[in-house]
Amino acid sequence: MNFAVICEGWKNRKLPIFNGIAYSDGYVDRFNIDYYDDNNYERKTINRKRVKIELSSIEVDYFSNVTIYGKVSSKEKRITVIYGGGSDGSEGFIVVESHEQKIIWLAFFEESNEFECCEIIENNIIAYNNLGDKWVFDIDCPSNLRII
| Closest C-alpha among 58, 72, 49 to residue 23 | 58
- What is the structure's pLDDT at 57? 63
What 3-state DSSP class applies to 16? Answer: strand
Digits of tens for pLDDT over the chain (148 positions)? Answer: 678 888 888 999 999 888 888 898 888 888 877 655 555 555 544 344 555 656 566 566 678 899 999 999 999 999 999 999 998 888 999 999 999 999 999 999 988 899 999 999 999 999 999 888 899 999 999 988 888 8
- What is the structure's pLDDT at 47? 42
| Closest C-alpha among 30, 46, 29, 50 to residue 38 | 46
State how far Cα 16 lies from the chain centre: 11
- In this structure, are residues 84 and 95 in contact, taking their beta carbons and an 8 Å threshold? no
Helices of type H across 52-143: none
State how far Cα 55 lies from the chain centre: 15
- What is the structure's pLDDT at 118? 98
Is domain 3-147 given the CATH code 2.40.128 in the classification? yes
- What is the structure's pLDDT at 120? 98
Residue 116, CA distances (Å) to 17, 56, 68 in order:
19, 30, 9
d(CA 140, CA 147): 17
